[in-house]
Amino acid sequence: GESVGLHLPTLSVQEGDNSIINCAYSNSASDYFIWYKQESGKGPQFIIDIRSNMDKRQGQRVTVLLNKTVKHLSLQIAATQPGDSAVYFCAETPYTGGFKTIFGAGTRLFVKA
Amino acid sequence: EAGVAQSPRYKIIEKRQSVAFWCNPISGHATLYWYQQILGQGPKLLIQFQNNGVVDDSQLPKDRFSAERLKGVDSTLKIQPAKLEDSAVYLCASSLATGVAKNIQYFGAGTRLSVL
């Protein structure tokens, strides 16, 4: 069935280091992927997205890599800051008669000062 | 630009009671979503509206959950009667459009429901 999963439920990094959050997806029909950040007590917030016709997309301090061959998505955060501490979700949008967003379980990122 | 507004922020009820949540989406957003987020999990779509019509309610437990979006703006989600397993955060989101792959959703802060 459709599923979006994450390799690691928690990730702890030192402030200033780079963070890499991984995500595996199973639906080859997915055309669009989004990373969301959710801070405690808040709703998910859009970070960056990527279409399936791209391998890489960069934003401010964030980069998303897409490997369609192995159905893998990653979010790289450069120079991680305490404010980056949150749960990160990858979401895929497969076409199943309509576009439906499916969220993974999330990875909690801890940034140590 | 104002974000998605939800109320109440917290609600505690006993099982078999009823509860209602309210959502006001971002102005001009045609699509509205209700998600259930159980602790430690990602959001799960309950229902999706396009204007005031239902696009997807395949994961809505229709025997106890209901939702409406009158006039294509505000929406309410109701649970009657509540069960212990309904304890979760209920998130409302909105987006400009639906039916396209590129569909960024904007979320409210959610309502945390505890069923005792």
- B108 contacts A45? CB cut-off 8 A: no
pLDDT digits (tens, 9 = 90+) for B13-59: 999 999 999 999 999 998 999 999 998 889 999 999 988 899 899 99
Which residue from A32, A41, A99 is facing B109, i.e. has the nearest CB? A41
Measured between alpha carbons, how far is B45 from B51 in angstroms, rounded to an integer?
A: 17
Sort out which chain A residues have CB atoms less than 8 A from B98's CB and list them: 98-99
A44 preceded by a cis bond (ω within 30 of 0): no
The pLDDT of residue A7: 46
The pLDDT of residue B60: 96
To the nearest whole percent, how much of chain B has pLDDT over 90? 78
Note whether A77 contacts B: Cβ–Cβ < 8 A.
Answer: no
Quote the tokens at residue A70: 């192995």
Residue A100's SS3 state is coil
- For residue B112, which of B86, B75, B82 has the smallest C-alpha distance? B86
Q: Which residues pair with A105 in a beta bridge?
A: none
Residue given tokens 């964030």 in the structure block: A62
